[in-house]
Amino acid sequence: TSIEKFIEGIPKAELHLHIEGTFEPELMFEIAKRNNKTIKYSSVEELKEAYSFNNLQEFLDIYYAGANVLIEEQDFYDLTWAYLTKVHQQNVVHVEIFFDPQTHTDRGVSFDTVIKGIYRALEDGEEQLGISFKLIMSFLRHLDEASAFKTLEQALPFKKWISAVGLDSSEVGNPPSKFERVFAKAREEGFITVAHAGEEGPSEYIWEALDLLKVTRIDHGNRCLDDDSLVKQLVEIQMPLTVCPLSNLELKVVTNLKDHPIAKMLDLGLLATVNSDDPAYFGGYMNENYLGITRALNLSKHQITELAKNSFKASWLSDQKKRDMI
């Protein structure tokens, strides 16, 4: 349809994407085989059937299990390259992606192996596909502060490759305040900071991300709508929210895409963007996310354009490149 063509045609930036969440079942079985690793499910079809979640934790359990078969640098390269070729077809021209080092270092894969594979693919993607990129190292918030500090130490030799640190995994019970000191150290070392907040957790966690972690973007942020004074503040400082519609649907943050708050966010003046979070698990990459909300909320071409422009505004591209895209 014409609206599909319109969505496909506009250049977009992806700002909330976990590279481990792009692990498609077919590639997972292929990599498991060459690493002599077993998967709990006997076929791609059986694995896909397990992708039905009632909340964030049910998803995370499957997502971490999937990542278990990633061992060699080439595995991380192949994972990242598959993602880049996929979104290249969707006219995604800039990506700022998360990786979760602790998911791998905690099972004996070295930090170097992980980042070298991902980074080499990102460089090849820039050169061969014209996709510019930034890399965000995300701490797992269900683990302790000491583990995050250790991960930050491991990242220092790769500082030039990593733009920002983030915070993901099980939100409720693991508030931003748990990582205040780690984030202070990260900022001292020159990293930008972002954090998942207000996905399942309360609006107070968004305040903490702003006040204690000094973030420059809020990942998800849905629950800001519970607090008028928070919305006012987010609008005033034009704090980007990296919203993930299909993720929200699959993890039951919303029960129906027709109830998705992204149009309301735009109406309120919030700097909302559309992102895919973990596309291999949630049934869609960028364009499927745009199309999902466009159909459910009857978005106009003007609103779609605004969302795409917001993705560049909220990015860490240079001011010149932003101007070119907006």
- By CB neighbour count within 10 A (0-12 exposed, 13-18 middle, 19+ buried), where does 299 fall? buried
134 interacts with, out of Zn ion, ligand HPA, none, CB within 5 to 8 A per kind: none
Report the SS3 class of residue 168: strand
Taking the least distance from each CB to Zn ion, the nearer of 19 and 155 is: 19
What part of residues 127-186 is at the interface with ligand HPA (CB under 6 A)? Answer: 168-169
141 interacts with, out of ligand HPA, Zn ion, none, CB within 5 to 8 A per kind: none
Query: Are the beta carbons of 53 and 251 closer than 8 angstroms?
Result: yes
Please identify, among the stretches 99-107, 146-154, 270-278, 294-302, the one whose residues bind Zn ion according to the rule CB under 5 A. Answer: 270-278
> Quick one: which H or E segment has residue 75?
helix 73-88
Find out whether 18 is annotated in a ligand binding site: yes
Selecting among 20, 96, 171, 199, the annotated active-site residue is: 199
Find out whether 278 is annotated in a ligand binding site: yes
The tokens 């990102």 sit on which residue?
Answer: 122
What part of residues 263-282 is at the interface with ligand HPA (CB under 6 A)? Answer: 277-278
In angstroms, give the least distance from the CB of 169 to ligand HPA. Answer: 5
Output the DSSP codes for 14-72: E--BBGGGG--HHHHHHHHHHTT---SSSSHHHHHHT---SSHHHHHHHHHHHHTT--S
Dist CA 73 CA 296 (whole Å):
40
- Indicate if 199 belongs to the active site: yes
Site string for ligand HPA, 12-51 (x = CB under 6 A): ------x--x------------------------------
Quote helix, strand, coil % in the chain, to nearest 5. Answer: 55, 15, 30
223 forms part of the interface with ligand HPA (CB under 6 A): no
- Which residues here bind ligand HPA, judged by CB under 6 A? 18, 21, 56, 63, 168-169, 196, 199, 247, 277-278
- As annotated, the binding site includes 16, 18, 196, 277-278
Q: Which residues are catalytic?
A: 199
